[in-house]
Amino acid sequence: MDDTPNPSGAPQEAPPPVRKRRRSGWRLAFGLLTGFVLLLVVAAVGAYFWALDIYQRPGPLKEETTVMVARGSGLNQIADNLFYSGVIGSPELFVLAAKFEDKAGDLKAGEYAFPAGISMQAVLAMLVEGKIVQHRLTIPEGLTSWDIVQLVNEAPVLSGEPVSDIPAEGSLLPDTYFYERGETRAQLLDRMGEAQKAALSELWPTRQEGLPFETQEEWITLASIIEKETGLASERGLVAGVFVNRLNKGMRLQSDPTVIYAVTKGVGGPLGRGIRKSELRSEDPYNTYTNDGLPPGPIANPGRESLEAAIRPEETEYLFFVADGTGGHAFSKTLAEHERKVREWRKIERERQSQ
């Protein structure tokens, strides 16, 4: 105890406790830390919205650009590819976004056509959905297998050696086929063959009773003749009805396209000239002027409508038809009527040749 007297007589103040100074120091430190954290939060929120704006805004691409994403490409490699192709402006942000959305492992390989101004968000969506470029090849009805192989061999971006083995006549289904860059020519032809098998399996059970053929090969053969005889969808059923009537009556089909096939065997494209009388008299098995019944096989690859017409022909009494000069045919029930219409057609042909 301090017994020293206080000269002024005033009560002596005790010094402030040390713990109060410590409390003030903690308050200062806490305030600084809080401010720093708030600053970080504000900066983080600002950075997030800044990145989100870049991610969602239109990108730098000036015109549609095709980019190939190779199989086995990693996320960083894809991002760099997109950046150097001018599709995105920041590969780092693209990588961050893909990881943030848990899509890094969902990007699909293939050929992509990115439109001008596409956002980074839309680019990522395309890669996740696999919206790759689909090329198209249309196979018209009535082409021979040789013709179809030429189209496939000339089709762009298909891979593999040109096809040299010609598929069986009538084994391919004419249609429009979509394919990806890198698919082989053989694979595309295989798909055409599988499409034909599927169509045959679907349609064959729907055939009418009493048809003058029993096998699918005969069905395809008749359908191929119908296909080559008329290009008008409205006539296919009627043409089929005429041929069915002739077969049922034991009459020869006398179809010009079969004579042309006897000459070309489906190789080299169209005949490019008129049929010679000697060719009409030939004993080739495909010549339906000199042979009874159907030829030994199809003369082309018929489309679905001709296949349907061959097994569900239109009921008619017609036995003959000839071109009428309008792209269609004139049908007749008797030979005399048919011969008159043939003379009319020959006259039209002569007039056209003289013009």
CA distance 64 to 338: 59
- What does the pLDDT read at residue 353? 74
Q: Which residues of 33-66 are buried (b: 16+ CB within 10 A; e: fewer)?
A: eeeeeeeeeeeeeeeeeebeebbeeebebeeebe
pLDDT confidence of residue 29:
64
Closest by CA to 79, choosing from 98, 51, 100, 101, is 98
Nearest CA-CA partner of 147 in 261, 225, 240, 236: 261
Helices (H), the chain: 18-56, 75-84, 91-100, 120-129, 145-154, 185-203, 216-229, 236-248, 256-264, 277-280, 304-311, 335-354
299 or 46: which carries more pLDDT confidence? 299
pLDDT for 323: 86
pLDDT value at residue 16 = 56
pLDDT band of 15, cuts 50, 70, 90? low
Q: If pLDDT is split at 50, 70 and 90, which confidence band does 1 have?
A: very low
> Given this model, what pLDDT does residue 278 score?
93
Summarize pLDDT for 143-155 with one digit per residue, the tens.
Answer: 999 999 999 999 9
For residue 268, name the pLDDT band (cuts at 50, 70, 90).
confident
Spell out the residues 6+ positions from residue 114 whose beta carbon is closer than 8 angstroms to its own.
Answer: 61, 64, 65, 66, 67, 87, 123, 126
CATH topology of domain 65-129: Dna Ligase; domain 1 (3.30.1490)
If you average pLDDT over residues 208-226, what whole number do you get? Answer: 96
Tell me: pLDDT of 8 over 60: no
Indicate the pLDDT class of residue 345, thresholds 50, 70 and 90.
confident
Q: Any idea which residue has 């295989």 for tokens?
A: 190
Domain boundaries, the chain: 65-129, 136-200, 219-354
Least confident of 12-26, 52-66, 82-96, 127-141: 12-26
Tell me the pLDDT of the chain averaged across its residues: 88
Q: Is residue 70 scored above 60 in pLDDT?
A: yes
Give residue 15's Cα distance to chain centre. Answer: 91
pLDDT greater at residue 6 or residue 119: 119
pLDDT at 75 over 80: yes
Q: Could you read off the pLDDT of 225-248 as tens digits, one per residue? A: 999 999 899 999 999 999 999 999
Q: Tell me, what DSSP letter sits at residue 271?
A: -
What pLDDT is attached to residue 270? 85
- pLDDT beyond 60 at 19: no
Q: What angle do CA 72, 76, 82 make, to 5 degrees?
A: 90
pLDDT score, position 262: 95
What number is the average pLDDT over the span 292-303? 97
Average pLDDT over residues 183-193: 96
